[in-house]
DNA sequence: ATTTCTGCAAAAAATTTGCATCTGG
DNA sequence: CCAGATGCAAATTTTTTGCAGAAAT
């Protein structure tokens, strides 16, 4: 339900992403390797909010001997060039989510079953900017999470926890 | 819970806090110990957004042999009874901040110098509730952080990092 | 007396890093 | 070739835990 009104066309997201990545790598003298490509492709293909370990598992389905270290290093890269955002939802792990070509969005996190729903709200964004301006801040990014119980969990009681 | 308009008098916050704490401890069969009191008092006295280690250091100025484990355990407690909130600002550590008697507030985090400014905005809160309602969520808490450069850091360039 | 703490040190969990060895450009 | 990347294991960092002794109710 996202990618509705991008300023461009259909799969420009992908193109943008690749461009951003290529430019960044060139500027920083980085090399394109089999592992990096695999990790990055997997990351964008799977989507969602992946912990490094989850991503690592997915990656290893393709190439058994990619090391976690490489996944950590690659995700840090993606994060630095703005194609992924690191998030912390309170479970001990850092989770990454794709950022390219997406409007900013925030999260509703169900503390019962762990479901994460994304949403966007322009009016909130506008107010955030206003607040920041009022404090003399130049905002570069933000995150917002609402924690609570989803419809299901309000009824039947929380579904068994599953980390 | 923290629905109180804090426009009461001076130390109602403290009273509230102590009540909440006492009730919670009673209901859960918890004991009031020297260490817990020290940690909790220190936590509220210092204020700000403390990591466990920072708090531990402060605590040890009073009592050299409180263990870090106790600080972790106590902060988890405070967090569970709603008197403190755990936050993650992206440096590897969980930080806690006092919650008693305060209206909900959010943060402006300067990525240049690390300064954290708190703010409240009812209109944003209202919009958040609306969004949640629209998704069938019953929100229990939320967090929101805006990252960017504060006035200072926009001018003179980022102050030397001081991790 | 009984139940709940605390300190300590070991254990876990998450992430980073050193280094010898490969690899892309 | 050579800068940069990878794997692996060891090292860090952050948080949790088991347990025996200490305290609180």
Q: Two tokens at A15?
A: 């193109």
Calpha distance A115→A100 (Å, rounded): 23
Q: Return positions of chain C under 7 A from a protein CB.
A: 3-10, 13-18, 23-25
> In terms of domains, do A117 and A146 share one?
yes
The residues of A between 95 and 134 with beta carbon within 7 Å of nucleic strand C are none
Question: Does B6 reside within a domain?
Answer: no
Hunting for tokens 């964004």 — which residue is that?
Answer: A125
Question: Does A4 reside within a domain?
Answer: no
Q: What is the CATH number of the domain that holds A86?
A: 1.10.10.10
For chains A and B, what is the number of CB pairs under 8 angstroms?
Answer: 111
Phi, psi of A50 (to 5 degrees): -95, 135
Calpha distance A33→A41 (Å, rounded): 12
> In terms of domains, do B145 and B116 share one?
yes
> In terms of domains, do B31 and B64 share one?
yes
Q: Which residue is nearest to nucleotide C16 (CA to C1')?
A: A69
For helices A34-46 and A68-80, give the axis angle rounded to 10 degrees: 70
Residues contacting A127, CB < 8 A, separation 6+: B121, B123, B124, B127
Q: What is the pLDDT of residues A79-135, one digit of tens each?
A: 998 899 999 998 899 999 998 666 778 999 888 887 889 999 999 999 999 999 999
Calpha distance A70→A85 (Å, rounded): 17
Question: Does B2 reside within a domain?
Answer: no
Domain count for chain A, please give it: 2
Cross-chain CB nearest to A142 (options B128, B139, B144): B144
pTM, entire model:
0.77
Q: What is the CATH number of the domain that holds A128?
A: 3.30.1490.190
- Does residue A30 lie within 7 Å of nucleic acid chain D, judged by its CB? yes
From chain B residues 138-157, the ones with a CB under 8 A of any chain A CB are 138-151, 154
Estimate in Å the CA B112 to C1' C2 gap, whole number. 54
Pairing verdict, β A106-110 and A138-149: parallel
Calpha distance B101→B118 (Å, rounded): 15
Confidence of residue B141 (pLDDT cuts 50, 70, 90): confident
CB contact under 8 A, B146 and A137: yes
Q: How far is A119 from chain B (nearest CA, A)?
A: 8
> In terms of domains, do B34 and B85 share one?
yes
Cross-chain CB nearest to B137 (options A108, A121, A136): A108
> In terms of domains, do B130 and B57 share one?
no
Is the confidence at residue B57, as pLDDT, over 60? yes
Arithmetic mean of pLDDT, B155-161: 58
Nearest CA to B83 among B36, B144, B148, B153? B36
Are the beta carbons of A96 and A143 closer than 8 angstroms?
Answer: no
> In terms of domains, do B22 and B63 share one?
yes
Q: Per the annotation, does A81 bind a ligand? A: no
Confidence of residue B160 (pLDDT cuts 50, 70, 90): very low
What domain range is A92 assigned to?
13-98
Dihedral Cα A27, A31, B158, A88, nearest 10 deg: 130
Hunting for tokens 């955030």 — which residue is that?
Answer: A128
Cross-chain CB nearest to A128 (options B124, B138, B154): B124
Question: Does B135 reside within a domain?
Answer: yes
Dihedral Cα A109, A146, A73, A34, nearest 10 deg: 50
Is the confidence at residue A3, as pLDDT, over 80? no
């Amino acid at each position: 339900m996202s990618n509705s009104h991008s300023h461009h066309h259909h799969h420009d997201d992908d193109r943008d992403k690749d461009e951003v990545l290529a430019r960044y790598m060139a500027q920083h003298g980085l090399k394109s390797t089999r592992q990096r490509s695999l990790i990055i492709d997997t990351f964008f293909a799977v989507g969602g909010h992946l912990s490094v370990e989850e991503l690592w598992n997915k990656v290893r389905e393709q190439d058994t001997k990619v090391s976690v270290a490489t996944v950590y290093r690659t995700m840090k890269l993606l994060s630095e060039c703005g194609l992924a955002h690191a998030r912390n939802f309170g479970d001990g792990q850092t989770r990454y989510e794709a950022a390219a070509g997406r409007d900013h969005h925030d999260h509703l996190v169900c503390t019962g079953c762990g479901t994460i729903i994304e949403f966007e709200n322009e009016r909130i964004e506008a107010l955030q900017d206003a607040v920041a301006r009022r404090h003399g801040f130049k905002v570069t990014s933000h995150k917002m999470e609402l924690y609570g119980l989803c419809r299901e969990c309000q009824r039947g009681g929380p579904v068994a926890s599953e980390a």
